[in-house]
Amino acid sequence: MKLFIRDHIPLIGIYSIQLFLVTLIYWLDGYSNAAIMMYAVLLSGSVLIGYLAFRYINNKTFYSRLEHPLFSMEEVAVDSPQSPIAESLQKLLLSHYRHYQTELLNYKHKIGAHIQFVNQWVHQMKTPISVIHLMIQDEDDPRFSAIGDEVDRLKKGLETVLYTARLESFEHDMYVETLDLEAVVRSVASAQKRLFIRKRVFPSIRFDTTITVASDEKWLSFLLTQLITNAVRYTARDNGKIYLRGYNTSTNSVLEIRDEGVGISKSDLPRVFEPYFTGENGRHFQESTGMGLYLVKQICDKLGHQVELESEAGRGTVVRILFELTKV
């Protein structure tokens, strides 16, 4: 109604001016019967009000649609326009929606094809990496050890690319089961032993009790790998430790990963889960991509877990993964 009134204010204004001028001309011409003039004004005003009422009823759907946002195109489809302008608006909206759906479908096909290409490419790259690893694993030359370290970095980089691409179809690549959290943590830590040895950092694993969680083992292992890799990467001193502790609270099962690294500055903390954000540490550690914590947050959200991070520059970082308590 408000939009209808605002739209017709110019018409009402022009009509009032016109009525005033006609009445004034008759008055100046000597026609001084006020009662007849008032009757004419009342009759003319009634005609205007009738016209506005008729127009509002015919265009009620049109003005209502303009005043209220659309939540779905089904709302437009069920409308029954009663005027040419309302019908034209409905046709325009439906036409734009069909165009939007076509563009969206094409975009989804392109993204799907790109993700499929990335997946195939990553799997193809894994084969030569595995061959290189087999060729050098029994060699004692320090040069081959360095090659092995670089092969591990390539492997981790490919896994990051693969899991990032799979995030878009996460629901189709997830299998939730009951897991022994300590077993998963020890398996991931064991898989990173070359990294621990190369960086001269040692893991310390302690669980207060047996903790079972409902999660996807593959995705959980990947996010733990990201956290452990980060913890080791930013532990600058030799013989540092990474503490992995599991415990239960009254509301959650908690996995805590604490390092003795360089920490994160206070100004960077609000943005650590943003993609590609490296902050101050990115200037000092060239391996930083800004994707590790972003992927951790995305995976935790999709698995229904919570992630918390506390850090202080120069004093290390603590990351906690909170799981819902499960009954054994």
The maximal CA–CA distance of the chain, rounded, in angstroms, is 121
For 256, the enclosing helix (H) or strand (E) is strand 252-259
Cα–Cα distance measured from residue 328 to residue 326, given in angstroms and rounded to the nearest whole number: 6
β pairing state of 201-207 and 240-248: parallel
Sign, CA dihedral 260-264-270-274, equals negative
The answer to whether the CB of 281 falls within 8 A of the CB of 264 is yes
- Model-wide pTM > 0.75: no
231 burial (CB, 10 Å; 0-12 / 13-18 / 19+) is: buried
CA angle 165, 171, 173 (to 5 degrees): 65
User: Which H/E stretch holds residue 155?
Assistant: helix 142-166
CA distance 167 to 143: 37
Helix axes 60-67, 2-28, angle to 10 degrees: 120
List the chain pLDDT tens, one digit each, 328 residues: 776 677 778 888 888 888 788 877 777 777 777 777 788 778 888 888 888 888 777 777 776 766 666 666 555 555 565 667 667 777 777 788 888 888 989 988 888 888 888 888 888 888 888 888 888 877 777 788 888 888 888 888 888 888 888 887 888 788 899 999 999 999 999 998 888 888 889 999 999 889 999 999 999 999 999 999 989 888 877 788 999 999 999 899 999 999 988 888 888 888 889 888 877 776 776 667 778 899 999 999 999 999 999 998 888 899 999 999 876 5
